Amino acid sequence: MAQRLKQKAKAKAKAKASVIPDRIVGPDSGIDSAALLAELTELALAGGDVRNGALAVLKSSLSDAMEHAKKLFEFGRLGGLEMARMIAAIHDDIVTVLFDFTLLHVTPAANPTQAERMALCAVGGYGRGEMAPQSDLDLLFLIANKKGSPHTEALTEYMLYMLWDLGLKVGHSTRTVDQCVKLAKEDQTILTSLLDIRFLRGDAGLADGLYKKFQSSVKRGRGRKYISEKLAERDERHDREGNSRYVIEPNVKEGKGGLRDLHVLYWIARFLDKKGQITDPQLGHDYVDMGLFNKAAAKRFTHAADFLWRTRIWLHFTANRATETLSFDKQVEICRKMGYASGPVEVAVEGFMREYFTNAREVGALTRIACAKLEEEKSILLPKGLETYLPGSRRNLKNPNLVLDHGRLMFSDPMNIRNDPSIILQLFETAGRRNLDIHPDAFSAIDFRRNVIDADFRRNPKNSKLFQKLLLSAKAPYATLKAMNEAGVLGRYLTEFGGIVGRTQFNMHHAFTVDEHTLRLIDHFDNLRKDRMAEAVPIGTEIAKNFDKTEMLTIFLTCLLHDTGKGQGDQCIEGAQLARRACRRLGVSQSMTDTVAWLVRRHLDMSETAQRRDISDPETISKFGELVGSLERLQLLYVLTIVDIHAVELGDLE
């Protein structure tokens, strides 16, 4: 008796010491695990074709549970995050019941030897407790002996074939603790998947041993290296997906501003978390406890994650396969399910996609905030003294409102923005002219004070001069204006541009939203005048290189305003009116105002004439010459046409 009590106490202490995550906390899967196992046991005891009978029961349970979850999701009873969690919970119950059934009735081991010890763990997305309807089931069969045993091999094989026959896509591995640790040190993909490890069934002590050894020997002292590699991996992924949040057929999972970017934040935080504060990848409050976000940022994190998960789950349901690209046809189908139920389909799609791009931009903002906090904690701090050697160091800024913080531009005191809102434009003008990165905290400071960019701010001649100087002096005008757009400044200052932010172009000719397409015109013009496109367009390069400041500013303003009439009737006529209004408010000369308005009004004429008219007919050339009226306008229109064509979809000029 005493011996038995001693063993119970020992087991209890061991369980208490266990730290590996296990059951996810979320909506009930709707599966009664005990009743399901009892039904399978009854089948096994009755004899006959046990395997096919068990398969039919499990398949029915899985199908019923998923159908129930889908109905709750369709009726708005479950949000995106809750649905992702419920799908994971459903698979938890199916997998654990199958494991118990296999161990009890297929490959029983009453007193397992050391070689027969096994722990079944969830890893990857399944380990995080979040799944879309067609997600892979990532499993780790953790064994005690690298040679395994006939028992563990039979158990693994039976489970995998049953799961495959259930129609599930299973990613699996069979490894020992030492093998897992060794591979995690060599392969970042494996390391990251083990960050999400969660115990399901079997030998809890074995799983706990892996978790503790992983924490002590893999994570220790590798924080900076892991972060830099993870961010580099993210950048490579962005390049593959178009390197823009504003691709009009975005990849919800892998694209810039998608779910994977939120996962990167989670993985970095989880890797650095030494106190077990990050327990839930989907909810922002854990990041508050760790100091990465304040409560407002945490709320934004959760909102963005929920929206992206709702979108991804609807994608899987409508396609009935694991598709992640929000293509035009899926946008039409999903926009109604996402709440845009009334009005013409084009309006519904545009509303839905604007919300998508708003959330994608939020993901970028949250990434900047988290990285700034990590830098403060010296997790990804630049080498000491490096900022002294960076271009535009603190000593040479010559602006008391701005400072360099680890080589990135920041407000010396964000509170000064209230007294002098022009500091916001000073930040971007200086960053562009000195080719400096902007500190994430500066974006946060602007975010809290964007309402200072009001009508008085827009009419202020001082701000107009700053904006014009920014356009003409920026070393990389596309990057500078893109940062302004990301911060929500460009659309608030140039309200005509604000009307096209996040606006989709519902056709196959454009790869990006209207605002992103517009900014890419700026990039192509910058490349043209800096002799980077001479081989493709030698005449355009020669013309652009010889533009004076007036002509350059004319092109910059025209590029920014050329598509502002989209969605408002005749885009060229409406755009010309908006361009005239913007130029007047900016205080440019009447001559420049007239030229910009004319270019916006006629920005499609040259390409249409070249592609749809007989240019061998002298009358065609004569009429086009009369329309243009001067060599100066011809040159400006030619350059504008070149950069506009380059900014459409792949940007190749045939």
Q: Can you list the domains of the chain with their CATH numbers? A: 17-218 (3.30.460.10), 240-376 (1.20.120.330), 396-475 (no CATH), 494-654 (1.10.3210)
Amino acid letter, 339: G
CA 471, 601, 511 angle in degrees (round to 5)? 65
Per-residue model confidence (pLDDT) at position 10: 47
Per-residue model confidence (pLDDT) at position 104: 92
8-state DSSP, 451: G
Instruction: Tokens for 230, please give them.
Output: 């993870």
Residue 326 sits at φ, ψ, to 5 deg, of -85, 75
Instruction: Tokens for 594, please give them.
Output: 């007239």
Amino acid letter, 503: R
Coil, helix or strand at residue 329: helix
Per-residue model confidence (pLDDT) at position 346: 85
Per-residue model confidence (pLDDT) at position 402: 93
Per-residue model confidence (pLDDT) at position 2: 45
Cβ 582 vs Cβ 558: under 8 Å: no
Q: Could you report the average pLDDT of every consecutive run of 10 residues in the chain (654 residues)?
A: 45 54 75 94 90 95 96 94 95 96 88 87 92 95 89 95 96 94 90 91 93 84 77 83 80 92 86 70 72 84 94 95 92 92 86 91 84 65 40 62 86 93 96 90 86 94 97 94 92 94 70 88 94 89 94 96 86 93 97 96 86 80 87 93 80 34
8-state DSSP, 344: -
Q: Which of 110, 71, 252, 90 is nearest to 166 (CA)?
A: 90
Question: Taking the model in full, what pTM does it have?
Answer: 0.82
Per-residue model confidence (pLDDT) at position 508: 52
Coil, helix or strand at residue 139: strand
Cβ 313 vs Cβ 84: under 8 Å: yes
Tell the burial category of 487 from Cβ atoms under 10 Å away from its Cβ (0-12, 13-18, 19+): buried
Per-residue model confidence (pLDDT) at position 392: 39
Interior/surface letters 402-426, b for 16+ CB within 10 angstroms, e for the rest: bebbbbbbbbeebeebeeebbbbbb
Per-residue model confidence (pLDDT) at position 221: 67
Output the CA–CA distances (angstroms, integers) from residue 614 to 42, 603, 649, in the order listed.
82, 19, 26
For helices 223-240 and 188-195, give the axis angle rounded to 10 degrees. 100
Cβ 337 vs Cβ 75: under 8 Å: no
Residues 476, 477, 483, 486, CA torsion sign: negative
The helix (run of H) or strand (run of E) holding residue 495 is helix 495-498
Cβ 438 vs Cβ 474: under 8 Å: no
Amino acid letter, 221: G
